[in-house]
Amino acid sequence: MRFLDAYPKEVKVFLIASLINATGSALMWPLVTMYVFDELGRSLQDAGLVILVQSLGGIFGQILGGSLYHKVGVNRLIVGALVMNALALFALPAASHSWMLFMVTMGLVGLFNSLSLPAIQAFIGFRFAKQRGELFNVIYVANNIGVALGTSLSGYLADLSYMLSFVLNGVTSAVFAVFFFLYLKKVGESPQDEAINYKKMPPRHASNWKLMGNTRIYLYMAIGSMFLLIGNSIWNTGVSPFVFSEGWGNKFYGFLWTLNGILIFVAQPLVSLIKRWFARTSTAQMTASAVFYLSGYAVILLLPSYPGLLFAMVLATLGEMLISPAIPSFISDHAERSAPFYLGLSGGIGAVGRLIGPFCIGSLYDSGGLLPTAWLACGMALLSIGFFGIHAYINRQGVLKKRSEALILVDGKVV
């Protein structure tokens, strides 16, 4: 991966945007849980309900953001989403006096915080077509830096002031909206040689409903991602209580995620070798990702000990590093002008797994401990392999069909 100095200015701006979005999202989850339980005096079940509402808002936000990309433009979409997110955060102190109003406001925070995600991915895919695969990976690394910052800051901010934390998050979002408005207006006037000018592409006459009918682009891939996210919930609602029940404590569980963050940086050369030797295409990278996840869950099943959990985290992290850039790369390569819509739609479908996974894994852990959750995670990974395989097969057949239709017979020769 190149140094950031090698990238255009626009990329650096979007890296900052991704990092801030990821920091805010990672910060809000534990902060809101602590606020509902500690400050409002409500149960953890109520805290989980708030997170559920926020997650639902995030799913709709991704889908809506992809649909609005060409209708309102990248500038208005990102700036508008940041402004609305800031207003929702500013409203939290007043909304906290009513439980129902607080839940609605948190749903709006999830909605507006996710609106810009498809726009960021689509902008990179359109404007820097030759570098898009590498840049999606850089954005993925930046997002993980944001997650690490958010989770580490949440406890300190909770001790300082919950409401001040929400307001400061809103101020940051508002200031960044002004920055985006000025900066994107400036860089939009300076074209890049390698950019794909979607305005010169054939106009998109198809409605969103008709685009959804083109399942080859998104459906099987999104369902595979959804199953992976269901299984990946084992780390929070299966491994976490197992670690505490064994008496290992917070440090041992926290080190698993520290290992995850370290690997995302130091294992980049290894992932590059895997891509070069075994998974050259984005579809192959998705399937390889699910295989790594399956291997990690199998280790948990066969070796339910702390060394086993460490090895499983290594395998799962490699799977995560393979799939995160692969999905936006595939859509950007194959969907052309409709890429933003499919980015939002696939992201929304995949996020359903993150929504229902904790309930499924948690219920199994309550009834049988770690092993049933590992079996479920293995089953989800197998289903992912199957759907990613279907996705690869269908798209390979589509490419072969297009090639055959493009052949022209001239003087008895195929050219």
**Residues 334-338: what's their mean pLDDT?**
84
Give me the pLDDT at residue 409, please. 43
Indicate the pLDDT class of residue 413, thresholds 50, 70 and 90: low
Give me the pLDDT at residue 145, please. 77
End-to-end CA distance of the chain: 39
Extract the tokens encoding 116: 């810009």
**Cα 272–278–279 angle (5° rounding)?**
70
**Cα 268–137–318 angle (5° rounding)?**
45
Give me the pLDDT at residue 317, please. 94
Give me the pLDDT at residue 229, please. 93
Compute CA 388 distance to the chain's CA centroid, rounded to the nearest angstrom: 17
Give me the pLDDT at residue 76, please. 87
Alpha-carbon span 137 to 51, nearest angstrom: 28
Give me the pLDDT at residue 118, please. 85
Give me the pLDDT at residue 6, please. 65
**How many residues are there in the chain?**
415
Alpha-carbon span 395 to 141, nearest angstrom: 28
Q: Which of 69, 46, 156 is nearest to 115 (CA)?
A: 69
Give me the pLDDT at residue 375, please. 96
* Cβ atoms within 10 Å of 40's Cβ, excluding its own: 15
Percent of the chain with pLDDT over 90: 32
Choice among 10-14, 51-55, 150-154, 399-403 with the minimum mean pLDDT: 399-403
Q: Which of 131, 159, 90 is nearest to 1 (CA)?
A: 131
Alpha-carbon separation of residue 232 from 13, 189, 294, 360 (angstroms): 30, 43, 10, 11
**Cα 108–112–115 angle (5° rounding)?**
140
Extract the tokens encoding 317: 């992290």
Indicate the pLDDT class of residue 319, thresholds 50, 70 and 90: very high
| The overall pTM is greater than 0.85 | no
**Residues 305-332: what's their mean pLDDT?**
93
Give me the pLDDT at residue 191, please. 45
Whether 192 has a pLDDT exceeding 50, the answer reads no
* Span 374-411, pLDDT tens digits: 999 999 999 999 999 999 999 887 555 555 554 444 44
* Span 233-275, pLDDT tens digits: 898 888 888 888 888 877 788 788 888 888 988 898 999 999 9
**Domains in the chain, CATH or no CATH each:** 8-196 (1.20.1250.20), 207-414 (1.20.1250.20)
Alpha-carbon span 339 to 341, nearest angstrom: 5
Whether 124 has a pLDDT exceeding 80, the answer reads no
> What mean pLDDT value characterizes the chain?
82
* Span 159-190, pLDDT tens digits: 777 777 788 778 878 877 887 787 777 766 44
* Span 89-117, pLDDT tens digits: 899 888 888 899 999 999 999 899 888 88
3-state SS of the chain is CCCHHHCCHHHHHHHHHHHHHHHHHHHHHHHHHHHHHHHCCCCHHHHHHHHHHHHHHHHHHHHHHHHHHHHHCHHHHHHHHHHHHHHHHHHHHHHCCCHHHHHHHHHHHHHHHHHHHHHHHHHHHHHCHHHHHHHHHHHHHHHHHHHHHHHHHHHHHHHHCHHHHHHHHHHHHHHHHHHHHHHHHHHCCCCCCCCCCHHHCCCCCCCHHHHHCCHHHHHHHHHHHHHHHHHHCHHHHHHHHHHHHCCCCHHHHHHHHHHHHHHHHHCHHHHHHHHHHCCCCHHHHHHHHHHHHHHHHHHHHHCCCHHHHHHHHHHHHHHHHHHHHHHHHHHHHHCHHHHHHHHHHHHHHHHHHHHHHHHHHHHHHHHHCHHHHHHHHHHHHHHHHHHHHHHHHHHHHHHHHHHHHHCCEECCEEC
Q: Are 21 and 116 in contact (CB under 8 A)?
A: yes
**Residues 140-158: what's their mean pLDDT?**
73
Give me the pLDDT at residue 346, please. 93
Indicate the pLDDT class of residue 5, thresholds 50, 70 and 90: low
Choice among 39-53, 65-79, 209-223 with the minimum mean pLDDT: 39-53
Extract the tokens encoding 63: 């889908």
**Residues 288-314: what's their mean pLDDT?**
95
Q: Are 118 and 69 in contact (CB under 8 A)?
A: yes
Q: Are 324 and 140 in contact (CB under 8 A)?
A: yes
